[in-house]
Amino acid sequence: MSGLLAAAAACEPAHLSDLGTLLQVLWQFLSLSLFSLGGGNTLLAEYHHLAVAQFCWLTNTQFADLYALAEAAPGPSSMLVGLLGLGAGWREGPFWALLSAYGAEAAILLPSTLLMVTACLSWKRLEHSPWRVAFERGLGPITLGILFAVGLKILRTADTNFAGLLVSVLVCVLMLRTRISPLWFMAVAGVLGGLGVINR
């Protein structure tokens, strides 16, 4: 699939029973869990593929909005998965939306949590193992490549006008060069959006 542009057009909203949607949500996030390298943000582009291109739970715009919401809200930003679950179940009403939201978050966290518990209990043996060294050093560059791909994907998903793109680049530079809380960037950009300077 050369899907970057064609993805939205190719997508047919899934007609599923309530339970079917729920199980599908659970399975997709369960299987991604162990691939959340480098703190979890490496999965963002996969979330987009699932929610927008593959299952049509969300539009491109909604995905971008939910990502921003998860970044702005207090707590770990990995809670985005819950918002995606919410969007997946929304057509079936708030009850199913919430059920699929809590289910999605539990599914994305369960496998990595089990692995983490195992790792904690056997850390004494793992710490000096060559596997650990190779894993740490080998997966680092891969994480680097993924994060650049994710950044580009989110930028494409945001799909704002030129002023918006300029703000994105500026925020990126400020994130790297200063220690200003990103909440300020989102607040200022929100005002610029309200005034119509940034639009999409």
Partner 1 sequence: MTELRPSLSELFWGMLQVALSAFGGGLSAWSQRIVVEQRRWMTNEQFLTGLTVARLFPGPNQINMAVYIGAEFHGLSGALVALAGMLLLPFSLLMGLGLAYFHFHTIPSVDRVLAGVVAAAAGMALSMGFKILDQYWNDRVALLLAAVVFLALSLFDQRLIPVVLIAGPLAMAWYWPRRRANP
Q: How does DSSP classify residue 58?
A: S
Residue 81: φ, ψ to 5°: -55, -40
158 binds partner 1 (CB under 8 A): yes
Region near partner 1 per CB under 8 A, out of 2-10, 12-20, 22-30: 2-10
Q: Could you say which of 22, 25, 26, 45 contacts partner 1 (CB under 8 A)?
A: 45
Q: Which amino acid is at 134?
A: A
78 binds partner 1 (CB under 8 A): yes
14 binds partner 1 (CB under 8 A): no
35 binds partner 1 (CB under 8 A): yes
User: What's the closest the beta carbon of residue 116 comes to partner 1, in angstroms?
Assistant: 4
| Contacts with partner 1, 111-150, as mask; x by CB under 8 A | -xxxxxx-xxx-x----xxx-xxxxxxxxxxxxxxxxxxx
> CA nearest 66: which of 49, 85, 53, 50?
85
User: What's the closest the beta carbon of residue 17 comes to partner 1, in angstroms?
Assistant: 21
Please report, for residues 16, 48, 63, 87, the alpha-carbon distance to residue 67 in angstroms, rounded to integers and kept in the order given: 25, 10, 6, 12
Helices of type H across 11-79: 18-32, 44-48, 60-72
Q: Could you say which of 2, 9, 13, 15 contacts partner 1 (CB under 8 A)?
A: 2
40 binds partner 1 (CB under 8 A): yes
180 binds partner 1 (CB under 8 A): no
The Cβ-side half-sphere exposure at 31, using a 13 Å CA radius, reads 8
